[in-house]
Amino acid sequence: MRPVGLVLEHLWTWYRRNWRATVVSSVLMPLMFLGAMGFGLGSRITPGPATHFLPYVVYLAPAMLVALAVQVATGESSFPVLGSFKWDMRYFAITSTPVSVDQLLTAQALWVALRILVSGLAYLAVAALFGAFANAGALLAVPVAMLAGMAFGSWVMALAATVNDEGTMFGNVFRFVVVPMTLFAGTYYPISQLPAWSRPLAWVTPLWHGNELARAVEFGGMDLLTAAGHVGYLLVLLAAGLLVARRRFHVRLKV
């Protein structure tokens, strides 16, 4: 455990000096989306079956938290990981000490989870001030968001450990996976609004499972078996992503 802690301390030391830049993208942006969509557009939406008969902003707030988690996880697992292999080679430096590759990967994954936790709590606190959350169940949405974010982030990490040419890969991931996922996987409206053939596409995404769970912990109305199914799917996705990432880390660090 100690080596994992040391790597975490290293990441934290860097972050302590550079956190300001992340405030805009990981806290202010979701809040602005919540304001524009939740309050602005929400004022044109009458509560109905599509929004669980809740004001739109309350319906949107927990899912926005999950979308934030996926975005933070993608950001923290893409260029920073690739850069640690390629640009400053700090992973090679770290694994040349008594820190093993598995410990390094554990620490990196924990770090991403911590970043989600901190951004999520900051978002939750400000959004709650504006009355976007109905009850304290929203606090439970934070671990849900962490799980969903990591389920996606682990795969991005595996990708970052694979690619050598930074060129366009992450830009494409963001444009063709993350953004469409946010738009079509039930963050802004239930996927029952979409044509039936497109719904299975949403079922595959971790974001949809995260959204369903995050709304369930705040608003209730989900039976235990369904909830277990969502959690199970996310856990399987996370475990598989971490295994692939582990394989890629071992290959790249040649041990």
Partner 1 sequence: MLLRIVPVGSYAGRARAVVERSALVNRRNWLLVLSGIFEPMFYLFALGIGFGGIVGTLTGPDGQAVSYAAYVAPGLLAASAMNGAVHDATFNVFMKLKYAKVYDAMLATPLGPTDVALGEISWSLIRGGIYAAGCLAVMAALGLITSPWALLALPAALLIAFGFAAVGMGASTLLRSWQDFDLILLVQMPMFLFSTTFFPLTVYPEPIQIAVQCLPLYHGIELMRDLTSGAVTWGILGHVAYFAIMVALGGWFAARRLGKLLLT
Task: Write out the residues near partner 1 by the rule CB under 8 A.
Answer: 18, 20-21, 24-25, 28-29, 32-33, 35-37, 40-41, 43-46, 48, 50-51, 56, 167-168, 171-172, 175-176, 179-180, 183-184, 188-189, 193-195
Which among 1, 241, 7, 19 is positioned nearest to 111, based on CA atoms? 7
Closest distance of CB 50 from partner 1, Å: 5
* Residue bearing tokens 């079956």: 49
Closest CB to partner 1 among residues 51, 74 = 51
Closest distance of CB 39 from partner 1, Å: 8
Closest CB to partner 1 among residues 43, 226 = 43
Closest distance of CB 159 from partner 1, Å: 17
171-179 LR contacts (CB < 8 Å, sep 24+): 173/74, 173/78, 174/74, 178/70, 178/71, 178/74
Closest CB to partner 1 among residues 95, 211 = 211
Closest CB to partner 1 among residues 135, 192 = 192
Residue 228 phi, psi (nearest 5): -60, -35
Closest CB to partner 1 among residues 30, 241 = 30
Closest distance of CB 56 from partner 1, Å: 8
Name residues whose C-beta falls within 8 Å of residue 173's C-beta, 6 or more positions apart in sequence: 74, 78, 156, 159
Closest distance of CB 177 from partner 1, Å: 11
DSSP string, 100-162: -HHHHHHHHHHHHHHHHHHHHHHHHHHHHHTT---SGGGGGHHHHHHHHHHHHHHHHHHHHHH
